[in-house]
Amino acid sequence: QLVESGGGLVQAGGSLRLSCAASESILGIYTMAWYRQAPGKQRDMVATINIGGGTNYADSVKGRFTISRDNAENTVYLQMNGLKTEDTAVYYCRITAAFKRDYWGQGTQVTVSS
């Protein structure tokens, strides 16, 4: 019910924009977020945005990444600038909706080369 796009291969210092579109059947969306998981590591929060537009970022991406959402389109974005090799990971979107429903995207690979 979540469709992610925008991952790929980019050189260090470059930019990518990830998108995650939620199905219209998902109602009452509260928080939209991006997580990432590098090989052999746990899945970590990258950025979150609540229904009021309030945002929260992991310290490692502050000042470089920007999360935004389009409530009319049920879509969340992650603009990633100044990418570093350590940003290489599979990125997942997560949506929390009414009645404690929790949805995850299938993941999109982001690879940053040196």
Cα atoms found within 13 Å of the Cα of residue 66, Cβ hemisphere only: 7
Q: Which residues share a beta bridge with 92? A: 35
Residue range 24-77, pLDDT digits in tens: 888 888 999 999 999 999 999 999 999 999 999 999 999 999 999 998 999 999
Place of tokens 């990830």: 18
Residue range 5-30, pLDDT digits in tens: 999 999 999 999 999 999 888 888 89
How much is the pLDDT for 28?
86
CA distances from 71 to 16, 24, 50, 92, 100 (A): 21, 11, 11, 19, 19
| Distinct helix (H) and strand (E) counts, the chain | 0, 11
How much is the pLDDT for 25?
84
